[in-house]
Amino acid sequence: MTHRQRWVLVLTSIASLMVALDVTVVSTALSSIRLHLGASIEQLEWTVNAYGLSFAVLLMTGAVLGDRFGRRRVFAVGLALFVLASGACALAGDVGWLIAARTLQGAGAAVIAPASLALLSGAFAPDQRGRALGIFGGITGLAVVGGPVIGGAVTQGLAWQSIFWLNVPLGLGAIPLVLRRMDESFGPPAAVDVRGLVLVTGAALGIVWGLVRGNTAGWGSAEVLATLATGAALGITFVLWELRAPVPMLPMRLFGSRRFASGNAASLLMFGALFSAVFFMAQFLQTALGSSPFEAGLRLIPWTGTVFFVAPLAGALVERIGERPLVVCGLLMQGAGLAWIALVADSGVQYAQLIVPLVLAGVGISMAIPATQNAVMTAVGASELGKASGTFSTMRQLGGAFGLAIAVAAFSGSGSYASPGAFSDGFTAAIAVSATLSLLGGVAGALLGTRRAARAGAPVLEGAAAG
């Protein structure tokens, strides 16, 4: 790597670490937030989904802004917004304020994510990109490894609000380095697709709202049926609009690439499984098994720690064997590990019984993430990197929001916070949902095609993207 490439890799990885940290660091603080703010399971879910939804629906807009005004410049602005929102989260006095601040934080993440992935992909040649994305995934894996531990330690030793202050020095230190050490890059100029943004926002909100409210309001209630139907109708309208929009926020022609379509489908299901499992696993260790927040974070390391070691190796291996074996095998392993946990989990289970399935699930997801990223980012030409990264990140966040909503619905239908036994009953149902989503992701990954076919089609895709 050149000196500039090293700076791009380090700074984009730091930003990605911050964005990912705010998913995992919250996991071990959820029980404390619930008790301190008197939050219900629905409100706890919204503290996660408010971040994920605003992140998801604004990603393509963030990608367009980076293409038009400069990815480095927009990347720095996104970092500043993320730092400001993190401070607002830390100062939250009630759950409504926290949810609103998390929404703003998601908007900052939506600007950071596509710019960072496009800057990183643009800094490396296609034959170097797999390894760079693997290192990027491994460094980002520090958030997955350290997030629950840091969140537990800070929550137990200080207060849950302090987990959000962690972002402030990281962001403030990174901004001047981004402006000094990274080269500016632009994508093709394009207008913001306002109608598409409104449609996809309404579609995501309607579907997630219906899933969240199903158990409380009743699955046959007018509220739930109306919001689900409206969300589905807006989603269909969004696709139809994007097919004829002069400047679409999500060009449907990209999905003509088998690798692009299958990679994004696998990503949606993969992160739906991961986000829902992370949400419940830390709470299970505390609520059902009696662990402290810090102990819960440490006990998650056999699962989360694999990302740091396996992801860089998978990123290097993808150049030799292709993405499909890693995605399929990885997601089947994660699904098997989560299903194993669902079978043995109850309030009397010994932690030692969970270690092997946690490692199995962790190795699986660590293999699948960099391979899926590489499949999507190498399916398009250089001029489409911004939109490709925005689409991938959108599918990841929407998958997380939908997966979490479905898992919470399963939890609420089978259990509650009333006792360790009641929580275990709900946890088993929720983790079974996570396992199913992961196995379905493996099926989607099987449609990626072989590496040889992908290389044969690369010039066509490049030409199509450039045109």
CA distance 2 to 182: 12
Q: What is the pLDDT of residue 460?
A: 35
If asked whether residues 314 and 217 sit together in one domain, one would say no
Q: How far is CA 41 from CA 272, 386, 458, in A?
A: 18, 36, 47
* Domain contains 406: yes
Question: How many other β-carbons are positioned within 10 Å of the β-carbon of residue 226?
Answer: 13
Q: Is residue 53 domain-shared with residue 105, that is, in the same domain?
A: yes
Of 338, 381, 345, the residue nearest 361 (C-alpha): 338
| 118 pLDDT tier (thresholds 50, 70, 90) | confident
Q: How confident is the model at residue 378 (pLDDT cuts 50, 70, 90)?
A: confident
How much is the average pLDDT of 156-175?
80
- Whether residue 159 is found in the same domain as residue 294: yes
Give the largest Cα separation in the chain, rounded.
61
Residue 145 confidence class, pLDDT cut points 50, 70, 90: low
The domain total for the chain is 2
The model's pTM is 0.74
Q: Do 212 and 106 share a domain, yes or no?
A: no
Distance (Å, whole) CA 327 – CA 330: 5
Whether residue 98 sits in one domain with residue 222: no
Domain boundary among 224, 246, 268: 246
> For residue 141, is pLDDT > 70?
no
Cβ proximity of 303 and 362 under 8 Å:
yes
* Range picked from 28-42, 116-130, 315-329, 447-461 for highest mean pLDDT: 315-329
CA–CA gap between residue 454 and residue 451 (Å, rounded):
5
Together in a domain, 201 and 169: no
Phi-psi region of 285 (alpha: psi -120 to 50; beta: other; left: phi over 0): alpha
DSSP symbol at 261? H
Per-residue pLDDT for 463 more than 50? Answer: no
Q: Is the pLDDT of residue 27 over 70?
A: no
- Domain boundary among the residues 204, 226, 246 is at 246
Burial letters for 22-56: b for 16+ Cβ neighbours within 10 Å, e otherwise? bbbbbbbbbbbbbeebebebebbbbbbbbbbbbbb
Domain that holds residue 453: 3-181+249-466
pLDDT tens-digit map of 328-364? 999 999 999 999 999 988 877 888 899 999 999 989 9
Give yes or no: residues 228 and 267 share one domain: no
Q: Are 280 and 300 in contact (CB under 8 A)?
A: no
Q: Does some domain include residue 188?
A: no
Which pLDDT score is estimated for 300?
Answer: 82
Q: For residues 315 and 412, state if they share a domain.
A: yes
Residue 146's pLDDT is what? Answer: 65
